[in-house]
A and B are shown apart, each in its own frame.
Chain A
Amino acid sequence: MKDDYLWDKTGEDAEIAALENALLAFRHANDEPPARPAREIEIAPAKPRRFLSLGFAFAAACAALVVVFLLVRPPAADPKIAAVDSVADADSKKRPEKTDGAGYVAPPDARPVKAVESAPRPAKPFVLKIRRTTAPEVRRTPLVSQTGNLKDQPAPALTAEEKYAYDQLRLALSITGSQLRIVKDKIDALEDSTAAFKKTK
């Protein structure tokens, strides 16, 4: 009954018994259990990625808000354009009023009449031609020097809304920075505790 000896050690099998005796030196002999850790280090489930993504999402939202605000806001009154407008008004006053073939005198801001089919050509809409009062500025300074000397340049005059948005952006960035610093500290502490745990192990 060789099979029985291999299965449950009943009967005899000299060959298997010889193998068992030869391999006896490898048998487990240590009955002492390992010392249990004196103190279990509780490591809170850290979620640095979630923290980071929240911080980045907050910063991105603030930046997007500022960009949208800057794009949507009405253009500020430019003194140069205002001067051109006054020149254009003066020119239009000097110019005699044009008349169509029927003797009708069209005012300068008249719109073309679309419903009249007998009209040979629709009247051209009034277009204000802007003439430059000064020569266009030529950028001669290199880009590097402009970006490098930002502090030397005079601060641009901001409107009240722009200043408010600027302050809000600075506040948002400072909050985001502090949040990221907290996250970094937590990650560092986690790494330290993990290293300490491995050392004790």
Chain B
Amino acid sequence: MTGNLFFFAPSEQTATAARRTAVRLVERVTAGDAEAFGELYRAYAPMVHGIVLARVNRDDVDDLVQDVFLSAYRKLSSLRDPAAVGAWLAMIARNCAAEYYRRKRPTEELPEDLCDRETPRTEAREILNAIRSLPDAYRETLVLRLVEGMTGPEIAERTGLKPESVRVNLHRGMKLLREKLGL
């Protein structure tokens, strides 16, 4: 019992501190502090990037991330619980990705040797495609963990998910990914 308390107490304190920081940050942004908006972006952009990357073509991800933050900036006054800004941003990112597919015109991907731009290796693209083929909950968590390099507790804190859910999603998603990649 004592061990359990000792195990959970630090994470609870961290979560509370993170919540307070988020509330202060949102209040500053709402008051028009440009620096605070930059801090908000740097804190949550990897999460938004991961959520969008799990759904959308790589070339359009950066534009969509910018769209998400601009949209959030305009709607920030409508945020009821400033402590839940991470979950709120994640929801906007998911909506933006869905909207992207709704308005997207059919395009055809050009071959990579058309230009000299540095492209990720074929292996990396295959891994990313394998992750994208997983169910929603698994692919989002795995992209945040493997691509954005966030830990499980960080994913839970930023997205507003329960740590237990993140842990389960990570393990089940990793198992499915291993099967797909033949590891």
A51 to chain B, nearest CB (A): 26
Point out the residue from A3, A8, A15, A34 that lies within 8 Å of B70, measured CB to CB. Answer: A34
For B181, the closest partner residue in chain A by CB is A19
How far is B119's CA from A25's CA once the two chains are assembled, in angstroms? 8
Which residues 25-56 of A have a CB within 8 angstroms of B?
Answer: 25-28, 30-31, 33-34, 36-37, 40
Point out the residue from A16, A33, A36 that lies within 8 Å of B146, measured CB to CB. Answer: A16
Q: List chain A positions with a Cβ less than 8 A from chain B.
A: 3, 6-9, 15-16, 19-20, 22-23, 25-28, 30-31, 33-34, 36-37, 40, 201
Chain B contacts for A36, CB-based, 8 A:
34, 37, 70, 73
How far is B52's CA from A28's CA once the two chains are assembled, in angstroms? 11
Number of interface residues of B (CB under 8 A): 39
Q: Write the B159-183 contact mask toward A (1 if CB under 8 angstroms, else 0).
A: 0000000010011001000100001
How far is B146's CA from A15's CA once the two chains are assembled, in angstroms? 11
Chain B contacts for A201, CB-based, 8 A:
70
A31 touching B34, Cβ below 8 Å: no
A28 touching B128, Cβ below 8 Å: no
B127 to chain A, nearest CB (A): 6
A34 touching B41, Cβ below 8 Å: yes
- Asked, given contacts A6-B170, A33-B41, A34-B66, whether A26 binds B53 with beta carbons under 8 Å apart, the answer is yes
How far is B152's CA from A3's CA once the two chains are assembled, in angstroms? 11
A/B interface sample: 14 pairs, CB < 8 A: A15-B178, A22-B121, A23-B147, A25-B124, A26-B128, A26-B147, A28-B65, A30-B65, A31-B41, A33-B41, A33-B45, A36-B37, A36-B73, A201-B70
A30 touching B58, Cβ below 8 Å: no
B149 touching A20, Cβ below 8 Å: yes
Chain B contacts for A28, CB-based, 8 A:
45-46, 49-50, 65, 148
For B70, the closest partner residue in chain A by CB is A34
Point out the residue from A9, A15, A22, A30 that lies within 8 Å of B183, measured CB to CB. Answer: A15
How far is B73's CA from A9's CA once the two chains are assembled, in angstroms? 33
Point out the residue from B34, B58, B65, B171 that lies within 8 Å of A26, measured CB to CB. Answer: B58
B73 touching A3, Cβ below 8 Å: no
For B123, the closest partner residue in chain A by CB is A22
Chain A contacts for B62, CB-based, 8 A:
30
A30 touching B146, Cβ below 8 Å: no
Chain B contacts for A19, CB-based, 8 A:
127, 146
How far is B65's CA from A166's CA once the two chains are assembled, in angstroms? 63
Chain A contacts for B66, CB-based, 8 A:
34
A124 to chain B, nearest CB (A): 81
Chain A contacts for B127, CB-based, 8 A:
19, 22-23
How far is B172's CA from A3's CA once the two chains are assembled, in angstroms? 11
How far is B127's CA from A174's CA once the two chains are assembled, in angstroms? 69
A33 touching B37, Cβ below 8 Å: yes
B120 at the interface (CB under 8 A from A): yes
B74 at the interface (CB under 8 A from A): yes
B38 at the interface (CB under 8 A from A): yes
Chain B contacts for A3, CB-based, 8 A:
171
B88 at the interface (CB under 8 A from A): no
A26 touching B120, Cβ below 8 Å: yes
Which residues 106-133 of B have a CB within 8 angstroms of A?
Answer: 120-121, 123-124, 127-128
